[in-house]
Structure 1
């Protein structure tokens, strides 16, 4: 059985192979107009060892999704914290021997190497900074 032959080129004899390439200037402009990478959507991870900038105390943060757990030892006493990280904002409740004693609210720096904020305990507020 013989099939009729079909002309593979589009009407008018033009095909993609015959189209001119875009000019170099056009290609360069297209690259320059591309949107910047979306860095806001990259999940933040604060897990690891940090240091209290004032007291030089080691603080360890462990993150699972947006949940964060913190452990620090100050003068032989273990301080723990549990909280939530939303974008670059960390809110935690601190406990000692299982008893809540303070609230910690921190903001992570854009480069992810510093957290600064306030700790509220027993009606007092103090500035805190952690670095890694």
Structure 2
């Protein structure tokens, strides 16, 4: 598996996105805060999943079993062909294996992140700074 799918890479990416989110919040850019905060949470969730078992990152909805074989260490794929689960599914899996408790505010942050990618969410994310932290 390539380095971009390592625990360290996901953790580093989570830290970088969280730093951007904090800067966004400080400037009052709450759409950007939701976007970067959601990315931070998603990457942190993926770091936790890969630490438990790399196959936990497999996106199960699309196509053949190539991703399962890749994450299981039995098939080498080009990095641009590798797909992982999204934020919602990563969080759901962490909850299913009792790593992460239910948290409606965290779910809201992810919803706002997804909304920001398609439209503006306004100031709704302003109060979610403690959730990100």
Normalised by the shorter chain, which TM-score bucket? Answer: under 0.3
| Richer in strand (by share) | 1
| Richer in helix (by share) | 2
Q: TM-score, normalised by structure 1?
A: 0.21
Q: TM-score, normalised by structure 2?
A: 0.21
Find the structure with the greater CA-based Rg. Answer: 1
Work out which structure has the larger RCO, using CA pairs closer than 8 Å and 6 or more positions apart in sequence.
Answer: 2
